[in-house]
Amino acid sequence: MKTFQLTNKVHVGAQPDHRDLAVLKEQGVRTVIDFRMPAETGDTNREVVMAAGMQYVNIAVDKHALSTLSLDQLQNQLQQDSGPYLLHCASGARASVMWALHQAREHEWSYLATLQAIQTMGTDVSQSPEFLSFIRDVTANHKHSNSAQ
Protein backbone atom coordinates (compact mmCIF):
# COMPACT_ATOMS: atom_id res chain seq x y z
CA MET A 1 0.00 0.00 0.00
CA LYS A 2 1.30 3.42 -0.88
CA THR A 3 0.68 6.07 1.76
CA PHE A 4 1.49 9.74 1.84
CA GLN A 5 2.79 11.11 5.11
CA LEU A 6 1.28 14.59 5.08
CA THR A 7 2.31 15.73 8.54
CA ASN A 8 4.09 14.09 11.44
CA LYS A 9 0.64 12.90 12.56
CA VAL A 10 -1.26 12.15 9.34
CA HIS A 11 -0.82 9.46 6.68
CA VAL A 12 -3.32 9.05 3.81
CA GLY A 13 -3.70 5.98 1.65
CA ALA A 14 -5.71 3.11 0.27
CA GLN A 15 -6.99 0.04 2.13
CA PRO A 16 -4.17 -1.34 4.30
CA ASP A 17 -3.54 -5.02 4.93
CA HIS A 18 -2.12 -6.50 8.14
CA ARG A 19 1.49 -5.97 6.94
CA ASP A 20 0.80 -2.31 6.15
CA LEU A 21 -0.73 -1.84 9.59
CA ALA A 22 2.31 -3.38 11.27
CA VAL A 23 4.62 -0.94 9.45
CA LEU A 24 2.38 2.03 10.25
CA LYS A 25 2.19 0.98 13.90
CA GLU A 26 6.01 0.91 14.02
CA GLN A 27 5.94 4.43 12.58
CA GLY A 28 3.72 5.51 15.47
CA VAL A 29 0.24 5.44 13.93
CA ARG A 30 -2.31 4.86 16.70
CA THR A 31 -5.66 5.52 15.03
CA VAL A 32 -7.00 4.29 11.68
CA ILE A 33 -9.85 6.35 10.22
CA ASP A 34 -11.73 4.44 7.52
CA PHE A 35 -13.94 6.46 5.14
CA ARG A 36 -15.57 3.44 3.48
CA MET A 37 -19.30 2.79 3.62
CA PRO A 38 -20.49 -0.10 5.84
CA ALA A 39 -21.36 -2.21 2.78
CA GLU A 40 -17.74 -1.89 1.58
CA THR A 41 -16.21 -3.36 4.70
CA GLY A 42 -16.98 -6.13 7.09
CA ASP A 43 -16.13 -6.47 10.74
CA THR A 44 -12.80 -7.93 9.66
CA ASN A 45 -11.32 -4.49 8.94
CA ARG A 46 -12.10 -3.34 12.48
CA GLU A 47 -10.77 -6.62 13.84
CA VAL A 48 -7.53 -6.44 11.83
CA VAL A 49 -6.87 -2.86 12.95
CA MET A 50 -7.61 -3.63 16.58
CA ALA A 51 -5.50 -6.82 16.44
CA ALA A 52 -2.63 -4.61 15.26
CA GLY A 53 -3.05 -2.60 18.47
CA MET A 54 -4.60 0.50 16.93
CA GLN A 55 -7.89 2.29 17.38
CA TYR A 56 -10.43 1.92 14.52
CA VAL A 57 -12.86 4.68 13.54
CA ASN A 58 -15.33 4.55 10.65
CA ILE A 59 -16.60 7.79 9.13
CA ALA A 60 -18.78 6.59 6.26
CA VAL A 61 -18.40 8.77 3.15
CA ASP A 62 -20.75 8.06 0.26
CA LYS A 63 -19.30 9.62 -2.90
CA HIS A 64 -22.83 9.99 -4.30
CA ALA A 65 -24.22 11.77 -1.21
CA LEU A 66 -21.32 13.83 0.14
CA SER A 67 -22.05 15.82 3.27
CA THR A 68 -20.23 18.24 5.52
CA LEU A 69 -21.37 16.03 8.40
CA SER A 70 -18.50 13.70 7.49
CA LEU A 71 -16.07 16.63 7.70
CA ASP A 72 -17.51 17.55 11.10
CA GLN A 73 -17.01 13.95 12.25
CA LEU A 74 -13.40 14.00 11.05
CA GLN A 75 -12.73 17.27 12.85
CA ASN A 76 -14.27 15.90 16.05
CA GLN A 77 -12.18 12.74 15.85
CA LEU A 78 -8.97 14.69 15.27
CA GLN A 79 -9.79 16.78 18.35
CA GLN A 80 -10.61 13.73 20.51
CA ASP A 81 -7.27 12.00 20.27
CA SER A 82 -3.79 13.08 19.34
CA GLY A 83 -3.03 10.49 16.65
CA PRO A 84 -0.95 9.82 14.69
CA TYR A 85 -3.51 8.70 12.13
CA LEU A 86 -3.93 6.73 8.95
CA LEU A 87 -6.84 8.09 6.92
CA HIS A 88 -7.93 5.59 4.26
CA CYS A 89 -10.65 4.29 1.99
CA ALA A 90 -10.57 1.67 -0.75
CA SER A 91 -8.39 3.67 -3.18
CA GLY A 92 -7.32 6.66 -1.09
CA ALA A 93 -9.45 9.16 -3.03
CA ARG A 94 -12.06 9.85 -0.36
CA ALA A 95 -9.34 9.99 2.30
CA SER A 96 -7.37 12.55 0.26
CA VAL A 97 -10.46 14.67 -0.40
CA MET A 98 -11.55 14.58 3.23
CA TRP A 99 -8.11 15.55 4.56
CA ALA A 100 -7.74 18.35 2.00
CA LEU A 101 -11.20 19.70 2.83
CA HIS A 102 -10.42 19.51 6.55
CA GLN A 103 -7.31 21.59 5.86
CA ALA A 104 -9.26 23.90 3.55
CA ARG A 105 -11.71 24.65 6.34
CA GLU A 106 -8.93 25.36 8.83
CA HIS A 107 -6.86 27.53 6.49
CA GLU A 108 -9.66 28.93 4.28
CA TRP A 109 -8.12 27.52 1.12
CA SER A 110 -9.66 28.34 -2.23
CA TYR A 111 -11.21 25.74 -4.50
CA LEU A 112 -8.04 25.65 -6.64
CA ALA A 113 -5.70 25.41 -3.64
CA THR A 114 -7.77 22.51 -2.33
CA LEU A 115 -7.63 20.72 -5.69
CA GLN A 116 -3.86 21.25 -5.74
CA ALA A 117 -3.54 19.68 -2.27
CA ILE A 118 -5.57 16.65 -3.40
CA GLN A 119 -3.38 16.23 -6.49
CA THR A 120 -0.27 16.44 -4.29
CA MET A 121 -1.57 13.34 -2.50
CA GLY A 122 -1.68 11.47 -5.81
CA THR A 123 -5.43 11.71 -6.30
CA ASP A 124 -7.06 12.98 -9.49
CA VAL A 125 -10.64 14.12 -8.95
CA SER A 126 -10.94 15.93 -12.30
CA GLN A 127 -13.31 13.25 -13.65
CA SER A 128 -15.49 13.15 -10.52
CA PRO A 129 -18.33 15.68 -10.69
CA GLU A 130 -19.45 14.62 -7.19
CA PHE A 131 -16.08 15.44 -5.62
CA LEU A 132 -15.65 18.65 -7.64
CA SER A 133 -19.07 19.93 -6.62
CA PHE A 134 -18.48 19.06 -2.96
CA ILE A 135 -15.07 20.75 -2.93
CA ARG A 136 -16.59 23.84 -4.56
CA ASP A 137 -19.40 23.95 -2.00
CA VAL A 138 -17.09 23.56 1.01
CA THR A 139 -14.60 26.19 -0.18
CA ALA A 140 -17.17 28.70 -1.50
CA ASN A 141 -17.26 30.86 1.62
CA HIS A 142 -13.54 30.96 2.34
CA LYS A 143 -11.46 34.11 2.15
CA HIS A 144 -9.44 32.17 -0.41
CA SER A 145 -5.97 31.70 0.86
CA ASN A 146 -4.24 30.18 -2.14
CA SER A 147 -1.46 28.33 -0.38
CA ALA A 148 -2.08 24.66 0.28
CA GLN A 149 0.80 23.67 2.50
Angle at 65 between CA 77 and CA 143, to 5 degrees: 65
Give residue-wise pLDDT tens across range 4-63: 788 889 999 999 999 999 999 999 999 999 999 988 876 678 899 999 999 999 999 999
pLDDT of residue 144: 59
Whose CA is closest to 73, among 105, 50, 51? Answer: 105
| No. of helices (H) and no. of strands (E), the chain | 6, 5
CATH number of 3-139: 3.90.190.10
The answer to whether the pTM exceeds 0.85 is: yes
Domain ranges of the chain: 3-139
pLDDT > 90: what percent of the chain? 79
